């Protein structure tokens, strides 16, 4: 099988390349060029009617010029073809999504969107142009067969599991998807890198959002300073406790940096972007019992009546026992126990008892009752 492998220059995708080659596949390496540390990304320009400064790649991102050099070295070591594809312009769509969500008071997840739109969107189209039969990545997740068709399941290494960020790619992409390292734990992947003689066996993992070089609020403010306006910090009854310098500086569940007098610990309970207010309260007010999600991707028959599942609301969050149903394009999830810090804009992903993804969506509303 001819396979296009997304190579980031890290140990995971490098070992994926070696494993695919060992298993007899014809491997083509591909590096998605988004930018180097400090490089400007091709987002809307002032000369095109947008006064925002360009976004820049951070220092620990996954797609820098140094990463491209590492990926090229690995490809040379394995003797596989290697291409660099310029996705800088396409990546602007993800940055605009990130900005829009924060300015509208929601909590975005750009890594999920990157997989949906680029790695298994644009890159899949590029694979077809090259005559490739499948696209592979170095994610810690697995593709498993089910009576309803192939589905993504958790990786063997639950501490590194990345199945959550792959929920939205859809059945068509999964049918042409390979995840070679999903059956290994991270220490074994590094051992394999050394056994294959790969030059990246000890390379550290990337940690930050690749286009946010410091903190997200500073990034947003540099881009659109006029969107940051002072407003009220209120308690749940509407009483003003203090002021803030932009609701975008706060996230649901945040405790530090509120700078309001209180006799008990206070947390950000919700944000109202339309009123530019931040609402705070005690920890118990963070507890969410149910939610609704839109932009749903579901695998198999839609459960109109609630079925048991485990739900996850963060990339490395603990699975939450829950009941899920889907009707009229809306995913409804009721948690068996209250969960703190669930916010609109996050992705909700549901799994069956065998850790296979049932489906997921993007949270649009949460409910305490």
Report the candidate in 282, 284, 267, 367 with the shortest Cα–Cα distance to residue 322: 367
pLDDT at 266 over 80: yes
| Active site amino acids | 114, 210
Helix, coil or strand: residue 332: strand
> What pLDDT does residue 39 have?
53
Contact call for residues 253 and 238 (beta carbons, < 8 A)? no
In this structure, what CATH number is given to the domain that contains residue 258? 2.30.30.280
Is pLDDT of 44 > 50?
no
Q: Which two tokens stand for residue 45?
A: 């320009």
Cα separation, 215 vs 280, whole angstroms: 22
Residue for token pair 């203090």 = 242
Q: Which residue has the higher pLDDT, 330 or 38?
A: 330
Tokens of 295: 């932009």
User: To 10 degrees, what angle do helices 88-103 and 216-223 make?
Assistant: 100
Decide if 169 is inside a domain: no
Residue 47 has pLDDT above 70, yes or no: no
> 277-281 and 287-298 as β-strands: parallel, antiparallel, unpaired?
unpaired
Q: Is the distance from CB of 218 to CB of 99 less than 8 angstroms?
A: no
- Is 109 buried (19+), middle (13-18) or exposed (0-12) by CB count in 10 A? buried
CB 152 within 8 A of CB 193: no
Torsion, Cα of 215, 217, 218, 220 (10° steps): 120
Mean pLDDT, to the nearest integer, of 268-272?
A: 96
Taking residues 119-128, report their average pLDDT: 90
Same domain? For 128 and 256 the reply is no
Strand partners, 290: 334, 367
Cα distance between residue 332 and residue 355, in whole Å: 19
116 and 246 assigned to the same domain: no
Q: 34 with 127, same domain? A: yes
Which ranges of the chain does DSSP label H, i.e. alpha helix? 11-22, 65-78, 88-103, 110-114, 123-129, 171-174, 186-195, 216-223
Show Cβ contacts of residue 261 under 8 Å, excluding neighbours closer than 6 positions: 241, 242
Average of per-residue pLDDT values in the chain:
90
Range of the domain at 45: 2-138+180-195
Q: Is the domain of 271 the same as that of 305?
A: no
Do 190 and 244 fall into the same domain? no
Residue 38 has pLDDT above 90, yes or no: no
Strand partners, 144: 151
Residue 35 has a pLDDT of 54
In 3D space, the residue among 267, 215, 218 whose CA is nearest the CA of residue 241 turns out to be 267
**Residue 9 and residue 103 in one domain:** yes
Closest alpha carbon to 150 in 116, 177, 123, 183? 177
What pLDDT does 88 receive? 82
Are both 293 and 358 inside the same structural domain? yes
Give percent above pLDDT 70 in the chain. 90
**Do 337 and 251 share a domain, yes or no?**
no
The answer to whether residue 293 sits within a structural domain is: yes
- Is residue 88 included in any domain, yes or no? yes
pLDDT tens column, 161-214: 999 999 999 998 999 999 999 999 999 999 999 999 999 999 988 765 667 766
Rounded to an integer, the average pLDDT of 243-250 is 96
Q: Does residue 249 surpass a pLDDT of 90?
A: yes
**Sheet-wide strand order for 231-234:** 240-244, 231-234, 277-281, 267-272
pTM here is 0.89
- Output 298 or 60, whichever has higher pLDDT: 298
Edge-to-edge strand list for the sheet holding 26-33: 82-86, 26-33, 2-6, 134-136, 177-178
Instruction: With respect to residue 202, please indicate whether it lies within any of the assigned structural domains.
Output: no
Count of the separate structural domains present in the chain = 3
Do 267 and 293 belong to one domain?
Answer: no
CATH code at 92?
A: 3.40.50.620
Q: How many CA atoms lie within 13 A of 13 on its CB side?
A: 30
If phi > 0 it is left, if psi is from -120 to 50 it is alpha, else beta; for residue 8 that is alpha
């Amino acid at each position: 099988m001819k396979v296009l492998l997304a190579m980031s220059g890290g140990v995971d995708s490098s070992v994926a390349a070696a494993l695919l080659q060992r298993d007899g596949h014809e491997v083509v390496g591909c590096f998605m060029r988004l930018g180097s540390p400090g490089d400007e990304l091709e987002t809307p320009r002032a000369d095109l009617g947008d006064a925002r400064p360009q976004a820049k790649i951070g220092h620990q991102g996954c797609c820098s010029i140094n990463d491209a050099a590492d990926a090229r070295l690995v490809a040379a070591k394995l003797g596989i073809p290697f291409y660099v594809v310029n996705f800088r312009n396409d990546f602007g769509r993800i940055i605009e999504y990130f900005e829009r969500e924060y300015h509208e008071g929601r909590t975005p997840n750009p890594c999920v969107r990157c997989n949906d739109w680029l790695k298994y969107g644009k890159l899949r189209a590029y694979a077809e142009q090259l005559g490739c039969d499948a696209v592979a990545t170095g994610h810690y997740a697995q593709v498993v067969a089910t009576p309803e068709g192939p589905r993504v399941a958790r990786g063997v290494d639950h501490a590194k599991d990345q199945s959550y960020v792959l929920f939205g790619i859809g059945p068509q992409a999964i049918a042409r998807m390979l995840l070679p390292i999903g059956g290994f734990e991270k220490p074994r992947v590094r051992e394999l890198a050394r056994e294959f003689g790969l030059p990246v066996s000890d390379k550290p993992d990337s940690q930050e959002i690749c286009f946010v070089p410091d903190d997200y609020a500073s990034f947003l403010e540099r881009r659109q300073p006029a969107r940051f306006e002072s407003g009220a910090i209120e308690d749940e009854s509407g009483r003003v406790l203090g002021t803030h310098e932009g609701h975008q500086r706060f996230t649901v569940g945040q405790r530090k940096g509120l700078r309001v007098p209180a006799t008990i610990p206070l947390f950000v309970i919700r944000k109202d972007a339309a009123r530019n207010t931040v609402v705070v309260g005690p920890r118990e007010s963070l507890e969410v019992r149910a939610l609704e999600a839109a932009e749903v991707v579901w695998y198999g028959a839609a459960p109109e009546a609630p079925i048991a599942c485990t739900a996850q609301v963060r990339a490395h969050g603990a699975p939450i026992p829950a009941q899920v149903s889907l009707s009229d394009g809306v995913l409804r999830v009721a948690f068996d126990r209250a969960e703190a810090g669930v916010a609109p804009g996050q992705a909700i992903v549901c799994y069956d008892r065998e850790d296979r993804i049932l489906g997921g969506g993007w949270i649009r509303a949460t409910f305490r009752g």
